[in-house]
Amino acid sequence: MPYSKPEISPEWMKVNEVAAVIGVDPRTVVRMIKRGEMNVRAIEFGGAVRIHRNDWETELERRAAALAVV
């Protein structure tokens, strides 16, 4: 039986995905999370950081609303 790669739950996003949306380096996303500039749940497993998709969508809405006010 061939080996199949386990599926990562779609509710957790890679930092690269988040970085691509806001146009920054993935390391910047990790720094923003650590400094509390992003209100998202994040997990680190084996050096790879994952961000909860629902939290990220809420964060995007918050940022869009902040831009609309300005």
The whole-chain average pLDDT of the chain stands at 89
Domain-embedded: residue 61: yes
Domain-embedded: residue 41: yes
pTM of the entire predicted model: 0.77
Amino acid at 63: R
Domain-embedded: residue 28: yes
Cβ neighbours for 68, distance < 8 A, ≥ 6 positions apart: none
Termini Cα distance of the chain = 58
Average pLDDT of the residues in 23-39: 95
Query: pLDDT exceeding 70 applies to what percent of the chain?
Result: 86
Give the separation between CA 1 and CA 31, rounded to whole angstroms. 42
pLDDT at 10: 82
| CATH code for the domain of 25 | 1.10.1660
From the list 5, 17, 27, 3, the residue with the least C-alpha distance to 53 is: 17
pLDDT tens per residue across span 50-70? 999 999 999 999 989 988 876
Average pLDDT of the residues in 1-10: 64
